[in-house]
Amino acid sequence: MKVSVKVPATTANIGPGFDTLGMALPLYNTVTIEETVLPGTGIDINVIADGIAMDEFALEHIPLDENSIVYKAVELLYNSIGQSPSELKITIKSGIPVARGLGSSASVIVGALIAANELLGKPADDLALLSIACELEGHPDNITPAFVGGLVMSSQEEDGSVVYRKLEWPSDWAITVCVPDFELSTDIARSVLPKDVPLKDAVFNAQRLAMFVEAVHTKDAELMRLALKDRLHQPYRMKLIQGLDEIMDAFKHNDDVYGCVISGAGSSILVISNKNNLENIQNEVRDIWTSLNIKCDIKTLSVEQNGAQIVEE
Ligand code: HSE
């Protein structure tokens, strides 16, 4: 038996929503798990590039052994029903750039769990899978939209359960995703964050996150302009993303742009704007990165409303 699951990319944080907000984007990984007939073959993991995840987007950094997050996800699910995985061929068709803050690890965790659960006859329901996935990833902001699609706010409670609600992204707001040719691992990007933050910074983010939710509900672009700020992670990560300072400065006085934020832990950047002059916005980022000898892939994308889905491969 063989099961394939197609899972969207995600962008997390989106300004003030550190570890809380995330949004699915129309780039995909497909995880296929196949039971093999030869006993003793163990778990064989393969990665194939699909479209955007070209050589320069570093597929070789995905571990293919028991350190693989896919292996861990499958093992955890099998162990939860008292079994061990064996004789499985896992193939990841990768269309999401790796280590760029676009949820590639969340997508393979979600894909692997859904596929393995299907192979096992569905011992876990969706909420249980979501909770296992967040436990593995360590935070719910990429996992939840990868699983359910759309723009989502989520939390993982002390008992491990995940609470989430979808928000509706205003259809006339554009999301421009700017992916540089350099990687930034989430581990490194999290290692620069302080363990504690000043109370005034926590209050600043609480205020902006409340504004964000109200801004999307009421499609209030002026409120969104105030909301797309952060003091919990961006100030510490600025130095890890070359050109980010200049790019943010360039957009400060651009009336079309509501905000420019780090996508997840980086290295990609999101520019949120109205739908006028999108080419100018793309060129602005491209020009700054090109002047720093950084190649990039820049696309204006819509929100992917579908989450992970079982597909025929
Ligand atoms: N919220 C996470 C972070 C997303 O910023 O570290 C990356 O996994």
Looking at the structure, tell me whether residues 14 and 97 fall in a common domain.
yes
Chain segment 241-281, per-residue pLDDT in tens = 999 999 999 999 899 999 999 999 999 999 999 999 999 99
Looking at the structure, tell me whether residues 94 and 198 fall in a common domain.
no
Chain segment 70-106, per-residue pLDDT in tens = 888 998 999 888 888 878 889 999 899 988 999 999 9
Predicted pLDDT of residue 54: 43
Q: Is 264 in the pocket of ligand 1 (CB under 6 A)?
A: yes
Looking at the structure, tell me whether residues 293 and 192 fall in a common domain.
yes
pTM, 2 dp: 0.93
Looking at the structure, tell me whether residues 254 and 283 fall in a common domain.
yes
Q: DSSP for 154-222?
A: EEE-TTS-EEEEEEPPPTTEEEEEEEESS---HHHHHHTS-SS--HHHHHHHHHHHHHHHHHHHHT-HH
CA 249 to chain centre: 25
- Number of Cβ within 10 Å of residue 171's Cβ equals 10
Q: Is 230 in the pocket of ligand 1 (CB under 6 A)?
A: no
Question: Which residue in 292, 296, 287, 306 sits closest to 269, CA to CA?
Answer: 296
Asked if the model's pLDDT at residue 313 lies above 90, the reply is no
Chain segment 1-50, per-residue pLDDT in tens = 899 999 999 999 999 999 999 999 999 999 999 988 766 667 788 888 77
Looking at the structure, tell me whether residues 54 and 160 fall in a common domain.
yes
Reading phi first (left if > 0) and then psi (alpha if -120 to 50, else beta), residue 264 is in left
Looking at the structure, tell me whether residues 292 and 307 fall in a common domain.
no
Work out how many domains the chain is built from and give that number.
2
Looking at the structure, tell me whether residues 156 and 195 fall in a common domain.
no
- Cα(19) to ligand 1 centroid in Å equals 6
Q: Is 265 in the pocket of ligand 1 (CB under 6 A)?
A: yes
Q: DSSP for 270-296?
A: EEEEESSSHHHHHHHHHHHHHHTT--E
- Cα(186) to ligand 1 centroid in Å equals 7
Strand partners, 23: 11, 151
Residue 14 belongs to domain spanning: 2-167+303-311
- From 19, 20, 230, 262, the mutation candidate for ligand 1 (largest count of ligand atoms within 8 A of CB) is 19
Looking at the structure, tell me whether residues 140 and 185 fall in a common domain.
no
- Cα(301) to ligand 1 centroid in Å equals 20
Q: Is 267 in the pocket of ligand 1 (CB under 6 A)?
A: no
Q: Is 190 in the pocket of ligand 1 (CB under 6 A)?
A: yes
Could you give the CA distance from residue 92 to residue 70 in angstroms, rounded to a whole number?
A: 9
Looking at the structure, tell me whether residues 153 and 187 fall in a common domain.
no
Could you give the CA distance from residue 9 to residue 26 in angstroms, rounded to a whole number?
A: 7
